[in-house]
Structure formats: C-alpha cells, structure tokens
Amino acid sequence: MKVLELASYVLGLSSGYHDSAVALLKDGEIVSALQEERFSRIKQDAGFPAHALRACLAQAGIGLDDVATIYYYENPVKKLRRIWSTFCNFGMPGYANFVAEMPAWLSNKVHVKRNLRRALTQHFGAAAAAPQIAYIDHHESHAAAAFFPSPYQDAAVLCIDGVGEQATTSAWVGEGQRLTKLWEIRFPHSLGLLYSAFTYFCGFKVDSGEYKLMGLAPYGRPVYRQQIYDHLIDVKDDGSFWLDMAYFDYAVGDAMTNDKFAALFGGARREPESPLTRREFDLAASVQVVLEEVLLKIAASVQRLSGKDRLCMAGGVALNCVANGKLLASGIFKQIWVQPASSDSGGALGAALAGWHTRQAQPRATPRGDSMKASLLGTSYDDAAVAAALADCGAVASRLSDAAMLSTVADLLSQGNVVGWFQDRMEFGPRALGSRSILGDARNTKMQSVMNLKIKNRESFRPFAPVVLAEHVADWFDLGCASPYMLFVVGVQAHQRHALSAHEQALSGLEALKCQRSTIPAVTHVDYSARVQTVGADSSVRLRKLLEAFYAQTGCPVLVNTSFNVRGEPIVESPLDAYRCFMRTQMDYLVVGNYLIDKQQQPALAQDCDWRIEYALD
Amino acid sequence: MKKILTVSAWTLLFLLVVLPVGSLIRLLADPLRLRRRRASATYFRHS
C-alpha cells in the first residue's frame, strides 16, 4: 500500500520594526515570499503582515493550519536585554527614552509570541489552529538567508546591518545544512549605523536614504576620510572596528548624530529637501570610502579564518552595491553571492530557512544555481485577472500576441518612450528585476532626467540601473560574472565611454550630470559606474524576450530598468496599482501581461488624489 | 493621573536602578574592558 506523505510547510515572519514580510517553505523549497508594504501601500510597513500572509497561503493553496511552525526573525528577549544594558551604559542621556520606551517594551514589544497569536486570531479567525512559534536570532536569520539559498555547498558568510539583538556584524561558516558562527561585533559599534548616521546628517531618511547617499558619493571627493578615521571609527588590521559614541546619539537618543558630530563636519545637518552642497557630496564620498575599506579588511580576515573561497552576504549593508563591486573586484573571494532581499524582509526568509535546516536538521537540496528563483516569489496575475482589473479601472487597452507585444514595446522604447512593465511573479526584495519595472532606452541622452523628474519624481542626482542580456555583458560593462539581482556596481567598458572635453571634466557636483559619458548615458553614473542586472539565456522572465527584441531592432542589448513606483511609494503589486501609478506620472505606455495601454487613449483617472499627499517623501 | 504615576515609577526605576548600576559599570568595568579591547589586536568577539 502506498503511503501518502504530506508536505511540510514552515513560515518565516518579520514584523515590528520595518520591512514586514513572510516567506513560505514547502519541504524546504522556497515557494513564496512577500513584503507587506506591497499590499498595504505603506513603504517599509512595520505592521503585522496579514495581507502578505494571506497571499502567501493562497499561492500555496494551503491554510494556516497546514503550517507546522512559524519562525520569527529575531529574539525579542535578547533584544530587550541589549536595550536595557544600553540604558545602563549610557546613563542620564538615556533618561527620556528609557521612560518613553521601556513601558511599551515590557508590556508589549517583548511578548512577540503572544502578539503574533493575537494577530493570527484576529486576521484568520479563532478556528485557525495557530502553528507553534519559535525565535531565530536576527543575524542567524540573515546568515541563513545568505547561505541556504546560495548556489554553494560551503562558503563563508558575512552579515552586516544596523543592529539585531546585539550583533551588528557577524561572520559564519556555512557547510551543507550547518551554520557556525565565527565572531561578531556588538552594538553600538555598527557599520550600518555609521552609514545611517551620515545618511541622517546629509538630510536623508534613515533606513531608506542610504541608497541616496551611495548614489551621491561619486559627486564628491573623500576629503573627510581621515577625519572619520581620526575621530569616529577605530579599525584594527583584521577589519574589526569600534565607534566613538561621543559623536553619535542613536544608542539612547532620538537622533543619529549629536552636536559634536556636527562640529566635526562644519555645522548643522542638512535640512531634508534643502539644496545639496559640496559638503554633502564630500561626506557621502568619504563615508563610502571608509565603508569599502573596512569591508575589504573584514572580508580578508573572514577568508583567512574560514579558509573558504566563496562568500555569501546579507544584512542591509550588503545592499551597498558599490562596496559589493569593490569586494568582487578585489578577488579576496573567487565568488560572491548576495541575498537580494538583504534587509529585514529577507530576515523572514532566513528565519524560515534557519528553522528548516538548523532547527529541524533537514538537508539542503542541491539545485543548479541558487534557489531564489530569480527572486520572483510574489504574486502574479493571469490573463483573465489582468483583463478584469483593467476593465475595472476603465483602462483602454489592446491585447497583443506575444510576438507583436514584444516587437511593439521594443519599437516604442527605441523611440524614446518610457514604458511601465508588469509581468510574471512580483519580486521579493527592494529591487525591481523586470516584473514590476519602468523601462527606457539606455542610449537616450534625456532618459535619466526624464525618468527622475517626470516619472519617478525623485532627486535629479540619482542614477538608474541597466539591465543587459548576460551574453553581452562583457562588451558593455567591466563584469566577468552574472549579476541577476542588480547587486554589484561596476564600470562601463572603456570602449563604450566618451572622452570628455576639458570644460566637461571641470564640471563638479550636479553640473557633472550634463555630460554624455558613454554610449548608454542613461545608466552611466558620473564616475562611469553602473549597477548592472544581467538576464541569462536560462531566464524565464519576459524581460529576457523583450531585451532580445530590443537588441534585434537596435543592436543594443541594454535597457534602463527602475522600480515601478514613484518616490515614497512601494513598488506596485497589482494591475490596479500599476495603472494608477502609470496615470499619475508621465509614463508613455503601460504593458500588463499582453495588454498594451497608451497614455494618449486613457480617460482621466477618476477619484484620483495627488501622489505627493498619498505617499510621504522617502 | 495614570500617566503621571507611570512616568514617576519609571523615573524612580531609572534613578534608583539604571543610573547606579550603569555608573558602576562605567566606573569599573568599562575602562578595563575598553583598555583591554583597544590593546588587543581585534574587536571581534569570537564564538
């Protein structure tokens, strides 16, 4: 008699701070991972991920009672211990926050299991048998998210973020289904928080403006580098570091930096949205250089200690693609794999994977390549659902065959149109990788400013990323390996660059944007760098076919690929989100599945409100 | 009223427990620990 074996499901969950998310494993295979922000339309939503969980279960066709265990991505008891000891360590300056925070911590925040059970009952009913809940340490969640989905059976693992329970930086060795911690650096000494402190000081939002600081760095010179080393951070030869907390306020205060920090860098922090000055350019360049130098030292010592020649990375700092590019170029490790959802949303995935492999001692599968499924782990909409959604919106759309749609869109792009592109399953993580993207022609000299100012409504200095057919990457970029998750910044190939006149070379700050630096100016940053995404021949995403069609028409295998949203808005999740975003911006065309939507033919959007009111600036 | 009582209780806890314990740590343990760490070749805490 044949015994029917039931599949085993475990769920990872992150919530409470930022980037709430869920991830579902079926017999160890990642079947779904979703961020709550995409459904709630609140950027980096910290709330209980009810919508994401519902969608996750629906995708798998199961109920909550089919889930054996929920693994939460950090340990609140350990976190409370760290907060308590921090208040003890910092004394009187922490008084106000102690009185404000500790009651909430003791009465509510530390009781995560109780709170999760209540939320599950509230959203899924008392009848839904709540699975057991277990905690995974924050950095173990990151380490698991970095190693277990990677293509390696053994590797060194490096996690760098702001802070978890106590660790801010940790190194591990991953072998098969085991993760062994080598060392850690503890709060308040944190590379992530050092970078966030400069983000704050330069007038950007902490936890989201770090991308902007990274993009700003090439406009400046690292003139504050030595000052940072002399006053803020002590770095040993092995890359371990210690921050002088006399300059920072984040440990027990409400701000990231204090007056002493301001005095060191020539006065008060830049007011958000005020004009950028030379100081912010140089501060960004300086802290970026320090981050890269410390990262290279840490990587070298991890390599020595672990003896491994492959590295996996996660944690918010692993999203610093410029530093990742330098690390890749250094050759310290032969291969590097970075978890595409490296911030706390990826913690949900890591918690599930750590629970499955290390707590339940389940072996890893050995797939060819990584097991992230191109990070396309979210919701999808079939043709009928798209048609119904567009009809509900009142959209005027025409349905094209696959071939006609691809050649038409390639043609529209080559004519300088900006196209919203909604296909396949939604991406998990902060990057749009071709499922919820806005696309443009990388050769177009006006595309960068059009996309920044008229489409995305964001700051003019921010660069755009290229997506390129993998087999052509070496002809356009200084990259010798695949980069499917857009996590490495490399140089544009020398033969694609344009020589600048003496006058152009003398331009500084945002004036530098006026130069056409390469054959693909829309994706070439002012230092000739680009954050490359490669799409391989084995990729099943429709973007691959579109790139092929564009290449066939133009001889250029590169497009601009940016996330489908406006400033402050989470990436679109549904066809309705896509249509609203399309109608509110100056995008020219929208493609949802096989439906082509021309802006010129659309009726005015009913009951619309200004996106600037709906979404707070990031 | 309840809020005032809560704040007062937590203020007392802070003044009577957190501050003295913290001061002791800073006076005794911290300088030793810091000196030891600065003198050592690494800030890593090995497992």
Q: Region A344-370: what's the mean pLDDT?
A: 93
- Asked whether A316 and A487 are in contact (CB, 8 A), the reply is no
Alpha helical stretches, state H, A335-446: 344-354, 383-393, 402-414
Do B7 and A99 lie within an 8 Å CB cutoff?
Answer: yes
**Chain A nearest C-alpha distance from B35 (Å):** 12
| Whether pLDDT at A2 is above 60 | no
Distance from CA of A104 to the nearest CA of B (A): 11
Q: What does the pLDDT read at residue A505?
A: 87
Output the pLDDT for position A5: 67
**pTM score, whole prediction:** 0.95
pLDDT surpasses 80 at A164: yes
Q: What is the arithmetic mean of pLDDT over A418-422?
A: 98
DSSP strand pairing (A21-26 vs A9-14): antiparallel
State how beta strands A335-338 and A310-314 pair: parallel
pLDDT attached to residue B1: 79
Listed residue (A83, A68, A72, A165) closest to A115, CA to CA = A72
Residues of B in contact with A184 (CB under 8 A): 44-45, 47
The sign one gets for the Cα dihedral A132, A133, A137, A140 is positive
**How would residue A127 be classed by pLDDT, with cut points 50, 70 and 90?**
low
pLDDT digits (tens, 9 = 90+) for A263-317: 999 999 999 999 999 999 999 999 999 999 999 999 999 999 999 999 999 999 9
Q: Work out the average pLDDT over A67-71.
A: 96
pLDDT at A4: 58
Q: Which residues of A touch B (CB under 8 A)?
A: 87-92, 94-95, 98-99, 102-103, 171, 180-186, 189, 234, 236-238, 240-242
In angstroms, the CA A180 to CA A154 distance is 11
Helix (H, G, I), strand (E, B) or coil at A318: helix
On average, the pLDDT of chain A sits at 94
Q: DSSP 3-state assignment of B30? A: helix
CB pairs under 8 A between A and B: 65
- Report the complex ipTM: 0.86
**In chain B, what residues touch A185 (CB-CB under 8 Å)?**
43-45
Instruction: Give percent of chain A above pLDDT 70.
Output: 97
For residue A441, give every residue at least 6 positions away whose Cβ sits within 8 Å of its Cβ, in sequence order, or none. A413, A414, A416, A447, A522, A554, A556, A559, A560
pLDDT, tens digit, for every residue of B1-45?
A: 788 888 888 898 888 888 888 888 777 776 777 777 777 889 998
Sign of CA dihedral A368, A369, A372, A375: negative
Q: What is the pLDDT of residue A464?
A: 95
Residue whose entry in the numeric block shows the structure tokens 């050759």: A331
Answer yes or no: do A99 and B10 touch at CB < 8 A. yes
Give the separation between CA B43 and CA B45, rounded to whole angstroms.
6
What are the pLDDT digits (tens) for A184-237?
A: 999 999 999 999 999 999 999 999 999 999 999 999 999 999 999 999 999 999
Count of other CB atoms within 10 angstroms of residue A529: 20
Token digits of residue A563 = 């996330």
* Residue carrying the six token digits 């769920």: A11
Say what the pLDDT of residue A459 is.
Answer: 87
At residue A235, what is the residue type?
A: V
Q: Is the pLDDT of residue A612 over 70?
A: no
- Cβ of B26 within 8 Å of Cβ of A87? The answer is no
Asked whether the predicted pLDDT for residue A82 surpasses 70, the reply is: yes
CA A88 to chain centre: 34
d(CA A24, CA A233): 40
Q: Which residue has the higher pLDDT, A459 or A609?
A: A459
Evaluate if residue A253 carries a pLDDT over 60. yes
Nearest CA-CA partner of A23 in A14, A247, A15, A32: A32
Nearest CA in chain A to B41: A236
Instruction: Provide the pLDDT for residue A457.
Output: 86
pLDDT at A506 (0 to 100): 87
Would you place residue A519 in the very low, low, confident or very high pLDDT band (cuts 50, 70, 90)?
very high
CB A312 within 8 A of CB A321: no
Which of the residue ranges A456-460, A490-494, A522-526, A587-591 would you say has the lowest mean pLDDT?
A456-460
Q: A45 - beta bridge partners?
A: none
Residue A432, SS3? coil
Per-residue confidence (pLDDT) for residue A175, from 0 to 100: 96
Q: Which residues contact A613 (CB under 8 A, 6 or more apart)?
A: none
- B4 at interface of A, judged by CB pairs closer than 8 A: no
- Give helix A50-60 / helix A112-124 axis angle, nearest 10°: 60
Chain A residues inside the 8 Å CB shell of B8: none
pLDDT at A43 over 80: yes
Banded pLDDT at A540 (limits 50, 70, 90): confident
DSSP string, A464-532: -EEEEEGGGHHHHBS--S--TTS-EEEEBPGGGBPPPPHHHHH--GGGGGGS--BSSGGG--TTSEEEE
State how far the alpha carbon of A105 is from the alpha carbons of A98, A354, A487, A506, in Å. Answer: 10, 26, 36, 54
| pLDDT computed for residue A129 by the predictor | 67
Q: What is the mean pLDDT of residues A87-103?
A: 91
The share of chain A scoring above pLDDT 90, in percent, equals 87
Angle at A142 between CA A139 and CA A146, to 5 degrees: 140
